[in-house]
Amino acid sequence: MTGVTRVTRRALLAACVLAGCDAISGGGPVNSEQGSAGTLLKSRARLPQPFRAPLPIPPVLAPSRSDGGVDHYDIAQKPGTAKILEDLPTPIWGYNGIFPGPTIVSRSGRRTIVKHRNELPVPVSVHLHGGSTPPEHDGYPTDLVAAGGGRDYDYPLRQRAATLWYHDHRMDFTGPQVYRGLAGFHLVRDDHEESLGLPSGERDIPLMIADRSFDADGSFLYPSTDPSLTGHPGVTRDYVSGVLGDCVLVNGAAWPVLEVSAMRYRFRLLNASNARRYRLTLDPNPGFVQIGSDLGLLAQPLRHKTIDIAQGERFDVVVDFSGYSPGTEIIMRNTYGGGGTAQVMKFVVARRGRDDSRVPQRLSDLEPLPAGEATARRTIVFARGGAQAHGMTLWTVNGKAFSPDYLVAQPKLGAVERWTIRAQNVEHPFHLHLAPFQVVSPGPHQHGWKDTVNLGNGDRVDILVRFDGYRGKYVLHCHNLEHEDMAMMANFEVL
Ligand code: C2O
Ligand code: CU
Ligand code: CU
């Protein structure tokens, strides 16, 4: 169904009222592939054959030095070249010039300092998504590192083992800068997790799923109004709901293939796409055993036939290939997609194996946040409307466009609060910096400690948040990066 846009009539009409209505005739500002707000952008280059490229594993970055209980890393943000298409190179912007960037691996509670040098022609800001980080190191959108500049980001990492990721967070330009390649994994490990006997080493694999489209010259195609990313922000009118690529990359390779042994594997799934949401399934389907969510292990494993993963979310899963004989091919599909975007990658069982890994029935102590201790209730509404810029109706939080001095909440340090999040017009993945939360009455894909949760059009989700960590000003926002860049972000301040 490539190119076909699907949207409920109710959503379309609601959006039209707000946007002032060229949406009705199609090709207008609010379109949706199934499960995602956004418009499909068709590649102008020839896409590669699926299941040819081996799955790349991003290199683990070695510390430049370790002293006094601190690990120091150096990263240069710079242009690079990726080999994704068969016939053309793809220029990218990457951490150390690669996409995904190098994986940083930290121990829980061990301070990690990352020195970033900006060798790109634009300002940047680095955010550690899922990090419990002091505000001055959290990558606030206007806390920029100028072109040619550099700075240290200092991460205390006083948090449990989890799959974090780092990505660009520049005000108004996060969408295009992440799309060019500014994203990488940052894993936090701890002794407890390592004592469980989960699949590890070469069978603990991060999978960064991100869709992209390609221009005729092989570069990533993105509909910026100003492709130099130095002047006017935003995307052209047809893409204000989100940019959906027609090629699915995993760890930077198009529809790659991974040879596996007939054993258990741990996959850390991350949806690093700007706007695309996936409903992942395996064919044939041994099922996914979910062991962790955005912020670490669940209390006990959860079995899923499919996984819905929104932008910014992580699912830590174990897949057991032991029931398959060598030669079996297993395709990871995206049942929300159509054509090329209906498939993600392939596993080929290459050999038998002796597996001594296990998935224990008790994974971690995860106390439910006590609803009775919530000291405040707040409502956050993600919708389109209430503010305009450059003749466009903006995406807003509680009717307001992002401004560095508007505070939507001022929780006290250590407080538990109950927030009601509502989504209107289209889907919106809600993301909160700093503070982990739990969904009250979670759906199948909303268990455990979360920092991002998807809401469908018209949905309401209640969360309990504990504002632990640090005082200061942070952002919450929609993790549809086009929405975020078009003002769907707000500040909260921990007092
Ligand atoms: Cu993953 Cu504020 O972002
Ligand atoms: Cu974040
Ligand atoms: Cu949104």
List the chain pLDDT tens, one digit each, 495 residues: 233 333 332 333 333 333 333 332 233 334 456 889 999 999 999 999 999 999 999 999 999 999 989 999 999 999 999 999 999 999 999 999 999 999 999 999 999 999 999 999 999 999 999 999 999 999 999 999 999 999 999 999 999 999 999 999 999 999 999 999 999 999 999 999 999 999 999 999 999 999 999 999 999 999 999 999 998 899 999 999 999 999 999 999 999 999 999 999 999 999 999 999 999 999 999 999 999 999 999 999 999 999 999 999 999 999 999 999 999 999 999 999 999 999 999 999 999 999 999 999 999 999 899 999 999 999 999 999 888 887 788 999 999 999 999 999 999 999 999 999 999 999 999 999 999 999 999 999 999 999 999 999 999 999 999 999 999 999 999 999 999 999 999 999 999
C-beta of 130 in contact with ligand 1 (< 6 A): no
Q: Which atom of ligand 1 is nearest to the CA of 129?
A: 1
DSSP code at position 98 = B
What phi and psi, each to the nearest 5 degrees, are found at residue 392?
A: -115, 140
Q: Please list the alpha-helical segments (H only) found in 20-127.
A: none
Dist. CA 274–CA 117, nearest whole Å: 24
Dist. CA 27–CA 12, nearest whole Å: 12
Dist. CA 97–CA 360, nearest whole Å: 39
Region of 114 on the Ramachandran plot (φ > 0 left; ψ -120 to 50 alpha; else beta): beta
C-beta of 483 in contact with ligand 1 (< 6 A): no
Exposure on the CB side of residue 168, measured as CA atoms within 13 A: 32
**Ligand with an atom nearest the CA of residue 133:** 2
Q: Which atom of ligand 1 is nearest to the CA of 452?
A: 1
Which pLDDT belongs to residue 33? 67
* Residue in the structure block whose two tokens are 């060798």: 119
Which pLDDT belongs to residue 436? 97
Dist. CA 131–CA 178, nearest whole Å: 18
Instruction: Tell me if 434 sits within 8 A of 475, measured CB to CB.
Output: no
**Which residues sit opposite 346 in a β-bridge?**
257, 331
Dist. CA 104–CA 293, nearest whole Å: 19
C-beta of 129 in contact with ligand 1 (< 6 A): yes
Nearest to 182 by CA among 88, 79, 104, 57: 79
CA of 104 relative to ligand 3 center, distance in Å: 29
Region of 18 on the Ramachandran plot (φ > 0 left; ψ -120 to 50 alpha; else beta): alpha
Dist. CA 110–CA 72, nearest whole Å: 11
The amino acid occupying position 435 is A
**Strand 472-478 to strand 428-432: parallel, antiparallel, or no bridges (unpaired)?**
antiparallel
Q: What is the H or E stretch that residue 358 is in? A: none
CA of 130 relative to ligand 2 center, distance in Å: 5
C-beta of 127 in contact with ligand 1 (< 6 A): yes
**Ligand with an atom nearest the CA of residue 175:** 1
**Ligand with an atom nearest the CA of residue 429:** 3
Dist. CA 5–CA 1, nearest whole Å: 8
- Write the CB contacts of 209 (distance below 8 Å, at least 6 apart in sequence): 248, 249, 250, 269, 270, 271, 272, 273, 278, 309, 344
For 438-450, b/e burial (b = at least 16 CB within 10 A) is bbbeeeebbbbbb
Instruction: Tell me if 248 sits within 8 A of 340, measured CB to CB.
Output: yes
In 326-410, DSSP assigns E strands to 329-334, 343-351, 376-389, 392-397, 407-409
Give nearest CA residue, ligand 1 atom 1. 129
Q: Which atom of ligand 1 is nearest to the CA of 165?
A: 1
Instruction: Tell me if 482 sits within 8 A of 38, measured CB to CB.
Output: yes
Nearest to 262 by CA among 342, 319, 344: 319
C-beta of 169 in contact with ligand 1 (< 6 A): yes
The amino acid occupying position 219 is S
CA of 43 relative to ligand 2 center, distance in Å: 29
Q: Which atom of ligand 1 is nearest to the CA of 167?
A: 1
Exposure on the CB side of residue 105, measured as CA atoms within 13 A: 11
C-beta of 477 in contact with ligand 1 (< 6 A): yes
**Strand 204-212 to strand 264-271: parallel, antiparallel, or no bridges (unpaired)?**
parallel
Nearest to 296 by CA among 414, 126, 132: 132
CA of 388 relative to ligand 3 center, distance in Å: 16
Which pLDDT belongs to residue 390? 78
**Ligand with an atom nearest the CA of residue 312:** 1
Which pLDDT belongs to residue 32? 53
C-beta of 431 in contact with ligand 1 (< 6 A): yes
CA of 25 relative to ligand 1 center, distance in Å: 34
Q: Which two tokens stand for residue 382?
A: 């993600």
The amino acid occupying position 377 is R
**Ligand with an atom nearest the CA of residue 167:** 1
Q: What is the H or E stretch that residue 298 is in? A: strand 296-304
CA of 362 relative to ligand 1 center, distance in Å: 30
Nearest to 419 by CA among 431, 402, 403: 431
Q: Which atom of ligand 1 is nearest to the CA of 477?
A: 2
C-beta of 428 in contact with ligand 1 (< 6 A): no
**Which residues sit opposite 359 in a β-bridge?**
none
Q: What is the CA radius of gyration of the chain?
A: 21
**The model's pTM:** 0.94
C-beta of 180 in contact with ligand 1 (< 6 A): no
C-beta of 429 in contact with ligand 1 (< 6 A): no
C-beta of 433 in contact with ligand 1 (< 6 A): yes
Give nearest CA residue, ligand 1 atom 3. 129
Q: Which two tokens stand for residue 321?
A: 């290939």
